[in-house]
Chain A
Amino acid sequence: NAGVTQTPKFRVLKTGQSMTLLCAQDMNHEYMYWYRQDPGMGLRLIHYSVGEGTTAKGEVPDGYNVSRLKKQNFLLGLESAAPSQTSVYFCASSYVNRVTGELFFGEGSRLTVL
């Protein structure tokens, strides 16, 4: 079972460059999320999607864009990378059932912006 797969796992960018992180899940989940993890800050929600074709802002959306053209994929884009976006990014997915609520996480993508 692949579960939630993130690519790439590591990336180094220069300030101003753009890139896209891809998240793919094979569990037919409706909900998908992008978080960033920074030391002492926990996980902060960037954007999320409650279904194909929908996206919504989380706690820290500035500087990021997302798209959910296919149910199984959730893309996170950085149009003009800044050093403040150096972080570990986690994608997660879940069933629609709110009572269940369990998130399934990818292994993370470590991004460094120089």
Chain B
Amino acid sequence: AQSVTQLGSHVSVSEGALVLLRCNYSSSVPPYLFWYVQYPNQGLQLLLKYTSAATLVKGINGFEAEFKKSETSFHLTKPSAHMSDAAEYFCAVFRDDKIIFGKGTRLHILP
């Protein structure tokens, strides 16, 4: 069964530093993968999605993710963190009419 694993429940980076949030998937076939973001007291919103059209996917707010089949990874990056990026981030996979989420990574931005 397809699933995703997010490494690190909390990640702290300094403002202006590189953001790297890790996600690995388990699947025998290339899956549909997503990154969602949740700001405090809100629902989730889509950051970006991988649907096999291109391995490097660009999303909103300067985020991007690279699909690496050899590493079964779909890590989320942003070159320069901003205070407004503080939120919880979820990796997700589409499986059998359902979207299954990882446990989330809370991103803290240090001034």
Residues of A within 8 A of B (CB): 4, 31, 33, 35, 40-45, 48, 50, 56, 58-59, 90, 92, 94, 98-99, 101-103, 105-108
Contacts and interface: CB of A to CB of B under 8 A. Distances in A.
B43 A48 contact: no
Interface of B: 9, 32, 34, 36, 41-46, 49, 51, 90, 94, 97-104
B103 A101 contact: no
A82 B42 CA distance: 25
A101 B94 contact: yes
Where chain B touches its partner, the secondary structure class is strand
Contact of B104 (A42, A56, A98, A106): A42
Q: Which 9 A-B pairs have CB atoms at the shortest separation, nearest pair first?
A: A105-B43, A42-B103, A43-B101, A42-B101, A42-B104, A105-B44, A102-B46, A101-B94, A99-B51
B34 A90 contact: no
Given A40-B9, A106-B43, A101 B32 contact: yes
